[in-house]
Structure 1
């Protein structure tokens, strides 16, 4: 069971002001908006649902749990290999390095150039944080960052973005429950449109976000 100290630590690690630069990564959302595929709250909500349920949300949660429960170095190799495009690789590795740098300096945690979910799982294990709560905060931060970007990029405004984020709570809970006991065999992604958008973003003429 999580203590108040655990909750405070997780809130800090996955809060908007933790310096991993998540605000610079749209996860292909900018390209989806440019192509007119995401244009309002409904289309953004549907896109986010797919990314969480069938894409990086679920995938990252399983990788985090695997790193927490097993050999994080091996999981890091697998996570790196699963990157579906150059920008997806950049997104997870750059944020992972930034996260690791702060964790090692402030909490004396592991300092490894691993993808973000892997270093997050390893750091949580080293700090003695409960896995379920770590997964919950991680997924909430991932979805929340995309909602913040959608408020500006779609645009849908801050209130609509918060409404979408609130609606994602059952998805987050379901992913956490699955990831707690998932194995490598459970890894898999089926968000082709989002992956194609991430690739298209690499050559997009006008870009605000890195991915």
Structure 2
């Protein structure tokens, strides 16, 4: 990867990207409220299981397909996978968060990279994973493994940050937790790149239940 492409990837995966990811906890807030997650070890265990079996694998796999669709200028495939991912979201909270973040990133892309308009204009609403794939392809970030790692690392950082605020954890503990997950991120990225369309499945009922609880949680710091 050239230095220029590294910079593009860092910008795309940055917590400073104005898409509102920081306002969502993906069920972490409900799990902490219920006591399922109570310390760094239990948060790490939850994230490890999500990387092994959870919906983040589906999201990332669809992001890869969006990347390829943009490369081949296949708007029909891009629209198909966007609809597929919307249908795969198991709660209203998860679907709306994906759409809101996707809409924000798509709007940003239209301002920074106007040539993506034919792809973005064909999608409403646009899922975040789809918009991420469009951005990575339009910025020619390569190899694809680095794009997948950037997406997974951004997801991990956001949820660890939520845990740091809610459990609460110290900043050092949060950074150590991210470092501990590096092998899991690498394994997940490699496996996701090898998935065929027929292999796209997940075991995310724990996340789904946590999300449904969070939708009606009495007090919340994070958006639902």
Query: Normalization by structure 1: what TM-score?
Result: 0.94
In the alignment, the residues of structure 1 paired with residue 200 and residue 179 of structure 2 have an alpha-carbon distance, to the nearest angstrom, of 26
The answer for the alignment partner of 1:148 in structure 2 is 161
RMSD of aligned residue pairs (Cα, Å): 1.3
The answer for the alignment partner of 1:118 in structure 2 is 130
Matches within 5 A, 1:12-51: 12-51=11-50
Q: Count matched residues.
A: 210
Matches within 5 A, 1:166-185: 166-185=179-198
Q: Is the 8 A contact 1:29 1:197 kept in 2?
A: yes
Question: Do structure 1's residue 96 and structure 2's residue 98 form an aligned pair?
Answer: no
Structure 1 residue 118: deviation in Å? 1.3
In the alignment, the residues of structure 2 paired with residue 104 and residue 51 of structure 1 have an alpha-carbon distance, to the nearest angstrom, of 32
Query: Normalization by structure 2: what TM-score?
Result: 0.89
Q: What SS does the corresponding residue of 1:9 show, helix, strand or coil? A: helix
Q: Is the 8 A contact 2:8 2:139 kept in 1?
A: no
Q: For structure 1, which segment, 48-57 or 84-93, has the greater mean C-alpha deviation from structure 2 after superposition?
A: 48-57
Runs of 4+ in structure 1 off by over 6 angstroms are: none
The answer for the alignment partner of 1:68 in structure 2 is 67
Q: Is the 8 A contact 1:62 1:183 kept in 2?
A: no
In the alignment, the residues of structure 2 paired with residue 146 and residue 85 of structure 1 have an alpha-carbon distance, to the nearest angstrom, of 18
Structure 1: gaps (5+ residues)? none
In the alignment, the residues of structure 2 paired with residue 100 and residue 164 of structure 1 have an alpha-carbon distance, to the nearest angstrom, of 31
Structure 1 residue 91: deviation in Å? 1.5
In the alignment, the residues of structure 1 paired with residue 160 and residue 102 of structure 2 have an alpha-carbon distance, to the nearest angstrom, of 21
In the alignment, the residues of structure 2 paired with residue 63 and residue 93 of structure 1 have an alpha-carbon distance, to the nearest angstrom, of 14
The answer for the alignment partner of 2:54 in structure 1 is 55
